Structure 1
Amino acid sequence: MAGNSDPLTPRAKLAVTAGKAVAAASRAAGRGSGSVIGGRVALKLDPDLLARLAQNLDVVLVSATNGKTTTTRLIAEALRAAGPVVSNALGANMPAGITSALAGRSEARYGVIEVDEKYLAGVARDTDPKCIALLNLSRDQLDRAAETRMLAENWREGLAGSKAVVVANADDPLVVWAASSSPNVIWVAAGQMWKDDAWSCPSCGGVMQRPGDDWFCGECGFRRPTPSWALSGDHVLDPHGSAWPIHLQLPGRANKANAASSAAVAAVFGVPPQVALERMYQVQAVAGRYDVVQFEGRDLRLLLAKNPAGWLETFSLIDPPPTPVILSVNARGADGTDTSWLWDVDYTRLTGHPICVIGDRKLDLAVRLEVANQQFQVCENLDQAVQLCPPGRIEVIANYTAFQDLRRRVGN
């Protein structure tokens, strides 16, 4: 809890100072925020620095394949009702980036930390979280994370016996399997649009039965737990059965689900649902996602979609045809270099939209759209694609590094 004596040793203070200096030099050289390189330097000088920085904080960890950056922002807003918050709001979610974020913590009481799925168990060991939010697990970066069940197994082993309250999505069998090793779980019915990674039972490998919104394994009896929180339309239902309205500036059902999980987390810290949900309205955009920017006389809405589950959710919130859509896909290190996931996305949902295709892997995407019988044009860059679109609104959907490229081009 904040207010205790300073946990930082002289060595830790030196590590923090050195990390900040390196980060500042990186920013001055125009090489990004510097948070990752700064954190790496700091951890080299003091490998225990993350644990020391977290010592005086009530920590929430947020992990998932989709939605963790947004949910981290929503939780941080909600907890500010109870005290100052430090958070890795820009999404640097591996130990170096997390260390950098906490090093600038000043007098924070709460640490709300987004964590890459593969690092969750280690970061949980270091930070001794009071609460861990687990939203979903689906295929992503196929060259890096071979199998979602292995990630679920890592979570399950890493969280076994954890003292943290785990707030977990009851609708994702992989998340339920991972969270079930924890002694203290709060289940949230947050929904699961993408189901293609959860047709076999993570417990025994049997075929999962999915009647309606329920699910269970017909062979071993592993089944959906009874949720105490639920997303119901535009409301969050709390454990007492009260319905609280969700008012968000962020679009789509997925963000309502993120708000439901965030309200459950806030309640762990004593922030009531009404207060938590009202504060979440402050969040307009998350690291540029959902921003509408003016460019070449058009209104571009920037949407991030990194994997099949994310594309499916994004298609559900774009304006109806004939709104033009620009798609951009890269396959650099941060994206994962394997683009075979494009074949898992149902691009027939774009029927009726004029489509322009850009990005490093525009030809891979063009082949996929051709097979899906979509009308599209391949363009050299964003400027050319925008010129081909009529005046007005354009939906721009990009994966991770393609999204960063777009933000730089439009000055966002």
Structure 2
Amino acid sequence: MAGNSDPLTPRAKIAVTAGKAVAAASRAAGRGSGSVIGGRVALKLDPDLLARLAQNLDVVLVSATNGKTTTTRLIAEALRAAGPVVSNALGANMPAGITSALAGGSEARYGVIEVDEKYLAGVARDTDPKCIALLNLSRDQLDRAAETRMLAENWREGLAGSKAVIVANADDPLVVWAASSSANVIWVAAGQMWKDDAWSCPSCGGVMQRPGDDWFCGECGFRRPTPSWALSGDHVLDPHGSAWPIHLQLPGRANKANAASSAAVAAVFGVPPQVALERMYQVQAVAGRYDVVQFQGRDLRLLLAKNPAGWLETFSLIDPPPTPVILSVNARGADGTDTSWLWDVDYTRLTGHPICVIGDRKLDLAVRLEVANQQFQVCENLDQAVQLCPPGRIEVIANYTAFQDLRRRVGN
């Protein structure tokens, strides 16, 4: 449990100070927040710094392919009902960024930390979390991310023997397989719209049966656990069967699912669902996602979609046709350089929308849209795309670095 003694050795204090100085210099040079470079320097000076910074905090780790930044933000808001929170709210989710975030929260009681899927086991070892939320696993960054089954295996091995309470999505077989090695799991029925990464059983490789919302392996008996929390329409059902209304400013079913998981996490820390959900209403946008901005006299809503599962969820929340849509795809280091995932996205869902295509890989996307029989125009940049769009609010959907480019251009 959190205490008040100073956990930092003189060496750790020097590391924190140096990291903050480097981060400030990076910001002054216009190179972003500086949190990653600052964290790298601090960890070089004290390799145990992350563990030292975490030892006076009650830590929650949040990991998933989709939804971790938003869920981290929702949990942080909910836990502020119980005490001060430190969080890596801007999504720097590898050890250096996490170290930087925790170094800035000396008064905090809770640490709410988003963790990249590949780093979950190591960060869990360092931070001794009280709770770990696992939302989903799906294909992403195909050129460098481990295949999803391997990630699930890494989680399973890394979490075996953990004392943390695991809050896990009962509807994702890969997450269930990963969490099943843990002694204390709270299952949440959060749904799973994208199922293409979970047709074979992670336990034995058999074919998964999926009647309705249920799933099971006909060969080895691995099956969906009974959830104690559930998303049901616009409500969260708690373990006592009470239904709590979800009121969010964030759009879409996926964010209701994130709120359901967040309410289950908050309850681990003694924050009741009603209080947790009321606090989540404060969140209007997350690192620019869902923001509506003014640009060239038009309203643009900025939406992030990094992989097939994310694009599927995003298509479900855009305004109906004939709302214009701008799509932007890059394939830089942070996105993954392999764009073959575009062929896994069902772009026929955009039928009836006027579409403009921009970004480094606009021609890859254009070929994909051509095959999906979509009407679209390829544009040089956002300015040209906005000018070509018919009247009305514009939905702008972009993958990771394309989204950062858009935010810079619109001054967000």
TM-score by length of 1: 1.00
- The CA deviation string for residues 248-276 of structure 1, in whole angstroms up to 9 with x for no partner, is 00000000000000000000000000000
**Offset, 1:5:** 1.0
* Maintained 8 Å contact 1:297/1:391: no
Cα distance, 1:2 vs structure 2: 3.7
* CA distance, structure 2, for counterparts of residue 368 and residue 2 of structure 1: 52
Residue 18 of structure 1: aligned partner: 18
Q: CA deviation at 1:329?
A: 0.1
Report the CA distance between 1:4 and its aligned residue: 2.5
Residue pair 1:173, 1:198 contacting (<8 A) in 2 also: yes
- In the TM superposition, residue 106 of structure 1 has moved relative to its aligned partner by 2.2
Question: How far apart are 1:130 and its partner, in Å?
Answer: 0.1
Report the alpha carbon displacement of residue 101 of structure 1 after superposing the two structures with TM.
Answer: 0.1
SS in 2 for 1:392: coil
> Could you say what secondary structure the match of 1:14 adopts?
helix
Q: For residues 312-344 of structure 1, give each alpha carbon's deviation from its aligned partner in whole angstroms, at most 9, with x where no partner exists.
A: 000000000000000000000000000000000
**Contact 1:2/1:107 (CA < 8 Å) preserved in 2?**
no
Which secondary structure state, in structure 1, belongs to the residue aligned with residue 41 of structure 2? helix
2-structure distance, mates of 1:334, 1:394: 26
Q: How far apart are the structure 1 equivalents of 2:211 and 2:283?
A: 35
Indicate if the aligned counterparts of 2:168 and 2:176 stay in contact, CA closer than 8 A: yes
CA contact (8 A) 2:324 2:392 kept: no
Deviations 1:267-308 (A, max 9, x none): 000000000000000000000000000001110000000000
Whether the 8 Å CA contact 1:42–1:49 is kept in 2: the answer is: yes
Q: What is the SS of the residue equivalent to 1:2?
A: coil
Distance 2:183 2:337 in 1: 38
Report what 2:64 is aligned to. 64
Separation in structure 2 between the aligned mates of residue 353 and residue 298 of structure 1, nearest angstrom:
17
| Post-superposition CA distance 1:23-65 (Å, at most 9, x none) | 0000000000000000000000000000000000000000000
Contact 1:266 1:272 in 2 (8 A): yes
Deviation string, structure 1 residues 73-104 (Cα, Å, up to 9, x no partner):
00000000000000000000000000000000
- In 1, Cα distance between equivalents of 2:201 and 2:2: 42
Alpha-carbon shift at residue 144 of structure 1 (Å): 1.0
Q: How far is 1:214 from its partner?
A: 0.1
Quick check: 1:2–1:108 contact (8 Å CA) kept in 2? no
In 1, distance between residues paired with 2:251 and 2:69?
A: 15
**Paired residue secondary structure (2:334):** coil
Whole-angstrom distance in 1 between the partners of 2:5 and 2:26: 32
Distance in 2 of aligned mates of 1:147 and 1:69:
21
On the 8 A contact 2:191/2:257 being kept in 1, the answer is: yes
Distance 1:4 1:276 in 2: 25
CA RMSD after TM alignment? 0.5
Gaps of 5+ in 1: none
DSSP-derived class of the 1:112 partner: strand
2: CA distance between counterparts of 1:184 and 1:106? Answer: 29
| CA contact 1:250–1:284 (8 Å) conserved in 2 | yes
Query: Using the alignment, how far apart are the partners of 2:392 and 2:338 within structure 1?
Result: 34
Shift of 1:376: 0.2
Measured after TM superposition, the shift of residue 12 of structure 1 is 0.1
CA positional deviation for 1:391: 3.0
Work out the CA distance in 2 between the residues paired with 1:146 and 1:271: 36
In structure 2, how many angstroms separate the alpha carbons of the residues matched to 1:388 and 1:74? 36
Q: Distance in 1 between the 2:143 and 2:182 partners?
A: 29
- Residue 97 of structure 2 aligns to a residue whose secondary structure is helix
Give aligned-pair identity as a percent. Answer: 99
Cα distance in 1 for partners of 2:284, 2:129 equals 27
CA–CA distance in 2 between the matches of 1:386 and 1:377? 11
2:326 & 2:189 partners in 1: Cα distance? Answer: 33
Residues 130 and 165 in structure 2, CA contact (< 8 A), matched pair in contact too: yes
The alignment covers a number of residue pairs equal to 412
- Contact 2:135–2:168, Cα closer than 8 Å, also in 1: yes
| C-alpha distance after superposition, 1:129-151 (max 9, x if no partner) | 00000000000000111310000
Normalised TM-score (structure 2): 1.00
Whole-angstrom distance in 1 between the partners of 2:288 and 2:366: 26
CA contact (8 A) 1:299 1:394 kept: yes
1:152 aligns with 152
Cα contact 2:324–2:395 (8 A) shared by 1: yes
CA distance in structure 1 between the aligned counterparts of 2:190 and 2:231, rounded to whole angstroms: 6
Task: Give 1:390 shift.
Answer: 2.3
Paired with 2:3 and 2:234, the residues of 1 have a C-alpha distance of 39
For residues 282 and 313 of structure 1, what CA distance do their matches in structure 2 show?
22
- Partner Cα distance (2:239, 2:406) in 1: 42
Shift of 1:392: 2.3
Q: Is the 8 A contact 1:62 1:113 kept in 2?
A: yes
Contact 1:60 1:133 in 2 (8 A): yes
Report the Cα offset of residue 374 of structure 1. 0.1
Q: Distance in 1 between matches of 2:246 and 2:144?
A: 36
1:214 corresponding residue in structure 2: 214
In the alignment, the residues of structure 2 paired with residue 209 and residue 198 of structure 1 have an alpha-carbon distance, to the nearest angstrom, of: 10
